[in-house]
Amino acid sequence: MIAAAYDTPIVGWQGRWANTLRLWAAKPEEGFDLDSFNRGDFVAAAAPEAMARTISRVLYPDDTTEIGKELRLKQEYFFTAASLADILRRFETEHGDLHKLPEKVAIQLNDTHPAIAGPELVRLLHDENGVPFDEAMDLARNTLGYTNHTLLPEALERWSDDLFGRLLPRHLEIIDRIDTAHRAAYPSSSVTIREPGVVKMGELSFVMAHRVNGVSALHTELMKSTVFEELNALHPERIVNQTNGVTPRRWLLSSNPRLASLITARIGEDWVGDLEQLAQLEGHVDDPAFLSAYAEAKRANKADLAAWIEATHGIALDPAMMFDVQIKRLHEYKRQHLNILEAIALWQAIRAAPDADWTPRVKIFAGKAAPGYYFAKDIIRLINDVADVVNADPVTRDKLKIVFLPNYNVTLAERLIPASDLSEQISTAGKEASGTGNMKFALNGAPTIGTLDGANVEIRERVGEENFFLFGMTADEVVARREIDDHAARAIADDPRLAAALAAVRDGTFCPDEPERYAHLVDNLSGPDYFLVCSDFSDYWHAQRAVDAAYRDADAWTRMAARNTVRSGWFSSDRTIRGYLRDVWSAAPVI
């Protein structure tokens, strides 16, 4: 097959620069089989094109089956090989001498999905251009950097020898030589890229990169002490940190024009290119006129979102309610099920005391689950089932509503984030690499309720602990808690609210037509509960009640929200990119 390039110009802010986004589509070399068509074998006539296009038709296909794994590996190689061949073609046209490749080219591996780039670049240099093998390895390593985005084992890909050897036999030979060379250089180490029957792409990425970086301070330290502990000991200067950032042009100037206009009116427009200038607003957060305008911008954004949700989903929301938002991909470590369990407990508490002074809130969820991740899909279904019951309850519907918005994407995020009052960043400590949604929410004036995980740690340090609702165990405490065999049972026994919420899920309160629908979910939480939903529930509940109390003081809440905006300037992607230029790519900015 061939890789066909499709180019899109990406024009930078103010039109001062344009880059090309080059995407690839797989196409057959032979094309349409007219002879088969003329014989009446229409399926065979179209088969070459259909098979080729399958490679690039769906990004990250479901890999829970053997055929899915094969397609995933083919796709990863296809995109990587096409990009590397194109890079070398352009390099040779412009510079000629392949020995200067690291001086002119920097290639960043985004997690382990493109990890085949190491052996493929060695193959191109050695097999196709005659560079000696050891020199080809050095050139490849000095050209490649590797960003690790997660400590989850499933994200550090491992491929079977059988599959790898069948699809990419030459690359398996090259990986063997890379592994042999690394083990020879460090004979006392037990680190291997190959182990019986398996190719470990995380270790391959590390060994074939001259720099390896994490994406938050905590994540980088955990990477050094967990998944790459031994490799870090062998290469102590290789791992660096580059905390993620978000672009203020997209996530404030474009998506929140009301707030952007208020900022510009106070400090001018230079903040758009230098987000740390937001610090100039520090003196304005006690100014009643500024706070009034800030609160009005938030109210208007919430009214817009409420109108859109009613128009598109038929759910009426009062913009005066607190908009409590969790939007991210569905995963057990991100703990959307902790959030919905707290919502169930809150619903039960409101029903028990409807005349108490409750803070009205709407819990908004959005996110997608991986195709084969059925537990995550069941969490989505549970959220929707709970929403159906809670939103129809005449006792509680003016005090609590639940909304799950389907088909989450960047466009939807641009609607939700400027209108959010509370940012849910509630992952199990030690599991979230960084996150960028947390930064977008803080920048747009939504205080965080969260754990000490990922970039939450740095957000809390910068916005001030008084402007952040902290709960939950630390990463070290998580490790210790897992050593207690019955930690979930103890947590349930100690918290009647949690026990009642789980009982409602188990007994079919939210799915009377199929009462056992979520029994497996409750069994998981009552038994292994690897992500410690039950252990953190009580602390989360009390943190949410602190949020309720804070939100009832409108002026103090607005001041807290404004301080989140004013103190989030460090979380600009401009700062992140400067860090990569300096510490990873050894390059200087051109604008």
Sign of CA dihedral 297, 298, 301, 302: negative
Indicate if 440 belongs to the active site.
Answer: yes
Please say whether the beta carbons of 328 and 370 come within 8 A.
no
Indicate if 224 belongs to the active site.
Answer: no
Six token digits for residue 59: 């990004």
User: Rounded CA gap, 154 and 397, in Å?
Assistant: 40
User: Rounded CA gap, 498 and 515, in Å?
Assistant: 19
Instruction: State phi, psi for 454 to the nearest 5 degrees.
Output: 55, -140
Indicate if 200 belongs to the active site.
Answer: no
Catalytic residue, candidates 27, 95, 104, 149: 149
Catalytic residue, candidates 436, 509, 565, 576: 436
Per-residue CA distances from 458 to 108, 277, 313 (Å): 24, 18, 36
Which phi-psi region, left, alpha or beta, contains residue 14 (left: φ > 0; alpha: ψ -120 to 50)?
left
Catalytic residue, candidates 328, 361, 431, 517: 328
Indicate if 436 belongs to the active site.
Answer: yes
Catalytic residue, candidates 27, 250, 329, 559: 329
Catalytic residue, candidates 126, 210, 224, 334: 334
User: Rounded CA gap, 561 and 446, in Å?
Assistant: 6
Q: Is 272 exposed, middle or buried (0-12, 13-18, 19+ CB in 10 A)?
A: middle
- The sheet with strand 144-147 has its strands ordered as 107-110, 144-147, 211-214, 239-241
User: Rounded CA gap, 325 and 446, in Å?
Assistant: 9
Please say whether the beta carbons of 488 and 534 come within 8 A.
yes
Please say whether the beta carbons of 241 and 211 come within 8 A.
no
Indicate if 149 belongs to the active site.
Answer: yes
Q: Which of 265, 271, 264 is nearest to 249 (CA)?
A: 271
Indicate if 377 belongs to the active site.
Answer: no
Catalytic residue, candidates 440, 462, 563, 567: 440
Catalytic residues: 149, 328-329, 334, 436, 440
